[in-house]
Amino acid sequence: MANLRGEVVKLYKNLLYLGREYPKGADYFRKRLKAAFLKNKDETDPEKIKQLIARGEFVIKELEALYFLRKYRAMKQRYYSDDKS
C-alpha cells in the first residue's frame, strides 16, 4: 500500500507541474486536480487505485500532446505564411 501511495504522490506532483501551462490557467487546473484527488482519497482497493493511477497517466499524455500541438502551431505560424500564391 505504501508503494501505491508513492505513485499517487508522484502522479499528483507531475500533474501539478504540467498544469502550470494549462490554457485556462494554473489556478483553474490546480482546483480541478485537487478536487479529483480528494474525491478518491478514501479508496483502499489496490486494483481501483491502480486504475485511477492509469487514468492519471493518460491525462498526463493528453496534456503533453496538447502542449506539443500548441507549440507546433505557434512555430508554424511564426515561420510559415498562409499565402496560397
pLDDT for 52: 94
Q: Which domain holds residue 37?
A: 4-81
CA atoms within a 13 Å half-sphere pointing along the CA-CB vector of 39: 7
Residue tagged 499517487 (cell numbers): 8
Q: What does the alpha-carbon distance between residue 30 and residue 50 come to, in Å, rounded to a whole number?
A: 22
Q: Which residues does the chain have with pLDDT short of 70?
A: 1, 82-85
**pLDDT reported for residue 71:** 85
Question: What is the per-residue pLDDT for 84?
Answer: 57
Query: Who's near 29: CB < 8 A, 6+ residues apart?
Result: 19, 22
* pLDDT at residue 83, rounded to an integer: 57
For residue 69, which amino acid is it? L
Tally of structural domains, the chain: 1
